[in-house]
Amino acid sequence: TNLFSAIPYLGGELVIWMWGGFAVDKPTLTRFFSLHFLLPFVIAALTMVHLLFLHKTGSGNPLGFNSNFDKIRFHPYFTSKDLFGFLLMFLLLMGLSMFFPWQLGDPENFIPANP
C-alpha cells in the first residue's frame, strides 16, 4: 500500500479502494484474494510475451543501429537448461516440504501436542 500511496493524485484513492475504507470485511478480503491469485498468472503471461518478442526480434540498442549479426537465436539448449533448473528446484522444494515440513517454519510458534 505504500507504493500505491506514492502515486500522485490517485494514491490516496487507490489505498482507500484497496483497503475498503477503515473496515476490513469480506469485500476487501475477496479483493485481496483475487489480486493475489491472479497476479502470478499475469506476471507469467507478461514474461511469456516478453520472451516471445525478445527472441523473435532480438534485443535492441539505444542508438538504433541494425545489429542482426549480434542477435542470439532462441536455442533448444536454453529451453532444456531452464526446464532442468526448474525441475531441480521443484524437486528440492517438494523434497523439503514433504520430508521436513517444519524446517522452514518458526520454531517458537510450534508446540507439540501430547509430548
Domain boundary at 59, 85, 105, which? 59
Express each pLDDT in 10-45 by its tens digit: 888 888 877 766 666 777 778 778 888 888 999 999
Express each pLDDT in 42-98 by its tens digit: 999 999 998 887 766 666 666 666 666 656 666 777 778 889 999 999 999 999 988
Q: What is the pTM of this model?
A: 0.42
How many independent structural domains does the chain possess? 2
Domain span at residue 14 reads 1-59
Structural domain includes residue 65: no
Residue 18 exposed, middle or buried by CB count within 10 Å (0-12, 13-18, 19+): middle
Residue 20 and residue 27 in contact, taking contact as beta carbons nearer than 8 Å = yes
Structural domain includes residue 41: yes
Instruction: Please state, in angstroms and rounded to a whole number, the distance separating the CA atoms of residues 85 and 79.
Output: 10
53 and 12, same structural domain?
A: yes
